Amino acid sequence: CNVADREEVFKVAEKVKKEVGDVTVLVNNAGIATAKSLLNQSLDEITRVINVNVIAHYWTLRAFLPSMIEKNHGHVVAISSIVASYGFGPYGTTYCPSKSAVRTMMEAVSEELRALSNGKSSVKFTTIYPALVLTGIVKKPKFRFPWLMGGLLPQKVASTIIDVQRQNYENKSIPLFWLPLINVLRILPDKAIKCIIDFLDFRVDPDD
């Protein structure tokens, strides 16, 4: 279904419940991007990215989280990105903030459930931060150090996501070194961070 359409999401959720049963593992993975500067994006393009990358999470959570809470069993996995922590390069003015929103949303709903259940909730939350996955979402990626910046095969990433979910990690990056590295970089002065980004030279060419 179109995950940005709440009526479609709720309709499919009801169909799944009737035909299969309650969902116990929800993976919010849908994501799109446009490689354009902010002022070159149409209003519809901006809205579509935010609707698919952010708002859709609200609809799927509203559809599937209640049964998890009722049974005190379930796991929500959300796919963010390593760019959630910093707006790398140009053409990321909608995609990067959308992935930051996913990270904060998962932190907030996890903490909300923990507080409202007095720490007794067994529903798990995992946020994944991949580097560049070769899904075609980015048409013309460029990086000085491919081994560092990504170029990950979707099959390998999917397998890693399953492993991370089964091990009940709350946060994990792919490759694994990226999240700790970004956390360290964030304590550096702003000028130092910009110099590092310039050195890494990770960027995308704009869409035609």
pLDDT at residue 121 is higher than 80: yes
**169 is known as an active-site residue:** no
pLDDT score, position 92? 87
- How many helical (H) and strand (E) elements, i.e. helices and strands, does the chain have? 8, 8
CB 143 within 8 A of CB 162: no
Q: Which of 58, 86, 91, 95 is catalytic?
A: 95
pLDDT at residue 186 is higher than 90: no
pLDDT at residue 140 is higher than 80: no
| DSSP classification of residue 77 | E
Integer Cα distance of 17 and 9 in angstroms:
12
CB 154 within 8 A of CB 174: no
pLDDT score, position 89? 67
Q: What would the mean pLDDT of 83-105 be, rounded to a whole number?
A: 88
